[in-house]
Amino acid sequence: MSLLLHVMPDWIGLVSLACCTGVLVCSQWVVGTARGDTNPFLEELRAGMWQVLRIGAAVLFVSSILGLLVRAGEMSGYPITGLRPAIPTVLFRTHLGHAWLMRMAAIIGLLATAAGGFRRSRPSRCFMLGCAIVVSAMDSASGHASDAGDFSVPEIMDWLHLTAALVWGGGLVVLSLKILPPLVKQGDRAASSMGGIAARFSRIAGVAVGVIVLTASYQQWAYGGAVEGLPRSTFGRIIIAKIALFSALLILGAFNRYVSVPRLQEWAGSATTRHGALGRVVAPALMPLAPRARGTQTAARFARTVQLEAVLLAAVLLCAALLRHEAPARHAAHLEHHSSPSGAASASRCPISSKHAATPSRRRRTAGRHSITSLPAVRDPAGLAHAHDGRRRIPRREGEVVRTSGHPGLRHIRHSRPE
């Protein structure tokens, strides 16, 4: 229960950021590019989308503040009611704080533009989309991937993975909430709009899924460790759940792409999209799952499938939020080895041991490589413990318990003498 309470601000923030990203992507390339579409109802659709954008930006702002409080509590060991003295230190003396400040600046820019009357212009949409991209980049800059350093390959891969998931998931949420239900109610009058919107979003989703698969493969190699070791760690079990949810999403997405979208295009009287060799293999296998029906029935089934995809994507984002508070499986296996009798003899040579971390030069070389989740709780009666985030040390008060609470933004907890 405690972990879920800590994770909720992150999860709500990811869902709200996905909604904002989905609105901006759909308004720019899905609904906004309906060439030749004379359906006057599209303006009402756009108005509903802007409402989702405003609410999503406001929720993102609030969840970011709550997330800072939760993480500051994790990093300092203070209760929520006693965090005020620790907040300036976290904001201005940690890498997490620096990333949070830039993230909040982008959120404020997004919220101010979304609330303004000029949000529908193309430059404003591009600016808001840029703000959303900065927010996702700062999320990656305060996660496990940032242990390799700013603008490193792991951090860039994590950002691409998150951005692709936000584009795909946010588009699904916006489609299921504000676009497809009104079009389904219109029946045959919305056939042209439905076919065009489904085809355009299908192309965007296909690119996003490709990016997700490639970057997820890299992340599994970098953090997951051996496949057979995944069930032995919490991080690995969450990864397994995430893969299962993503597999279900792929099946539903393939059904919509290769079955529902072509039938909606036929209903609209437009040319069907060609999907190449993969489509010729997958489509015949999926066709028997959905017998042919009237166009309105196909549209209603497509809307229900998209709603189910949106729910599954929200569950995937919950797994992503949980992973932020767990040590990667590869790190956990490393520590398990050093805590075993066979590895105890080499513990003094481990980069995270107190003896090895005592020299400033070695501390600088190893800064940022290990999550604090991999270190045990330390009581420092001499007042010599320091929290290290790869850039600055934060002195602790005498006799205070230094807690390793699972947040990677505070990268190291060192037990060493003052320099």
> Can you spell out the DSSP letters for 24-48?
HHIIIIISTT-TT---TTHHHHHHH
Assess whether 119 and 255 both reside in one domain.
Answer: yes
pLDDT higher than threshold 80 for residue 355: no
pLDDT higher than threshold 50 for residue 385: no
Residue 165 phi, psi dihedral angles, 5° rounding: -65, -40
pLDDT recorded at residue 37:
58
Assess whether 406 and 277 both reside in one domain.
Answer: no
Burial of residue 166, with CB atoms counted within 10 A of its CB: 0-12 exposed, 13-18 middle, 19 or more buried:
buried
Establish if 192 belongs to a structural domain: yes
Establish if 227 belongs to a structural domain: yes
State the pairing for strand pair 393-395/385-388: antiparallel
Establish if 39 belongs to a structural domain: yes
Burial of residue 262, with CB atoms counted within 10 A of its CB: 0-12 exposed, 13-18 middle, 19 or more buried:
buried
How many domains would you assign to the chain? 2
- Tokens representing residue 262 in the block: 């072509």
pLDDT recorded at residue 285:
83
pLDDT higher than threshold 70 for residue 225: no
Assess whether 194 and 272 both reside in one domain.
Answer: yes
pLDDT higher than threshold 80 for residue 245: yes
Strand runs labelled E in 70-173:
none
Establish if 113 belongs to a structural domain: yes
Q: pTM of the prediction? A: 0.79
Of 414, 279, 295, the closest CA to residue 357 belongs to 414
Of 166, 164, 169, the closest CA to residue 218 belongs to 164
pLDDT recorded at residue 146:
82
Establish if 85 belongs to a structural domain: yes
pLDDT recorded at residue 224:
61
pLDDT recorded at residue 273:
72
DSSP conformational letter for 411: -
Question: Which region among 168-177, 258-267, 304-313, 369-378 has the lowest average model confidence (pLDDT)?
Answer: 369-378
Of 169, 176, 174, the closest CA to residue 242 belongs to 169
Q: Is 32 or 283 the better-scoring residue by pLDDT?
A: 283
pLDDT recorded at residue 375:
27
How far is residue 283's CA from residue 269's CA, in Å, rounded to a whole number? Answer: 20
| Secondary structure of residue 393 in the 3-state scheme | strand
- Tokens representing residue 52 in the block: 């989702």
Q: Is 189 or 278 the better-scoring residue by pLDDT?
A: 189
- Considering 330, 365, 386, which residue would you say is the last residue of a domain? 330
Which of the four pLDDT bands, split at 50, 70 and 90, describes residue 101?
Answer: very high
Assess whether 90 and 217 both reside in one domain.
Answer: yes
Establish if 343 belongs to a structural domain: no
How far is residue 412's CA from residue 389's CA, in Å, rounded to a whole number? Answer: 6
How far is residue 326's CA from residue 374's CA, in Å, rounded to a whole number? Answer: 9
pLDDT recorded at residue 400:
36
Residue that is written with structure tokens 């992507």 in the block: 25
Domain limits for position 374: 352-415
How far is residue 166's CA from residue 363's CA, in Å, rounded to a whole number? Answer: 36
Residue 395 phi, psi dihedral angles, 5° rounding: -65, 145
Highest mean pLDDT among 221-225, 270-274, 320-324, 365-369: 320-324
CA distances from residue 256 to 145, 187, 213, 416 in whole angstroms, order as listed:
33, 19, 18, 58
pLDDT higher than threshold 80 for residue 61: yes
Burial of residue 15, with CB atoms counted within 10 A of its CB: 0-12 exposed, 13-18 middle, 19 or more buried:
buried
pLDDT recorded at residue 282:
84
Under 8 Å between Cβ of 94 and 386:
no
Establish if 250 belongs to a structural domain: yes
- Tokens representing residue 232 in the block: 């032995």
What integer best gives the mean pLDDT of the chain?
78
Assess whether 262 and 385 both reside in one domain.
Answer: no
Assess whether 168 and 229 both reside in one domain.
Answer: yes
State the pairing for strand pair 401-402/412-415: unpaired
Assess whether 357 and 286 both reside in one domain.
Answer: no
pLDDT higher than threshold 60 for residue 126: yes
Q: pLDDT tens digit string along 334-353?
A: 445 444 444 444 444 333 33
Residue that is written with structure tokens 């189910």 in the block: 308
pLDDT higher than threshold 70 for residue 79: yes
Q: pLDDT tens digit string along 172-191?
A: 999 999 999 999 999 998 89
How far is residue 48's CA from residue 238's CA, in Å, rounded to a whole number? Answer: 35
How far is residue 269's CA from residue 295's CA, in Å, rounded to a whole number? Answer: 11
Assess whether 37 and 162 both reside in one domain.
Answer: yes
pLDDT higher than threshold 70 for residue 414: no
- Tokens representing residue 109 in the block: 């820019």
- Considering 330, 364, 386, which residue would you say is the last residue of a domain? 330
| Secondary structure of residue 292 in the 3-state scheme | coil
Which of the four pLDDT bands, split at 50, 70 and 90, describes residue 212?
Answer: very high
Assess whether 307 and 267 both reside in one domain.
Answer: yes
pLDDT recorded at residue 166:
97
Assess whether 385 and 318 both reside in one domain.
Answer: no
Average pLDDT over residues 387-414: 37
Assess whether 221 and 302 both reside in one domain.
Answer: yes
Under 8 Å between Cβ of 255 and 346:
no
pLDDT recorded at residue 78:
84
How far is residue 305's CA from residue 255's CA, in Å, rounded to a whole number? Answer: 9
Assess whether 267 and 236 both reside in one domain.
Answer: yes
Question: Which region among 30-44, 177-191, 323-337 has the lowest average model confidence (pLDDT)?
Answer: 323-337
- Considering 295, 330, 365, which residue would you say is the last residue of a domain? 330
pLDDT recorded at residue 362:
32
Angle at Cα 172 formed by Cα 171 and Cα 174, nearest 5°?
Answer: 65
Establish if 156 belongs to a structural domain: yes
- Tokens representing residue 317 in the block: 């984002």
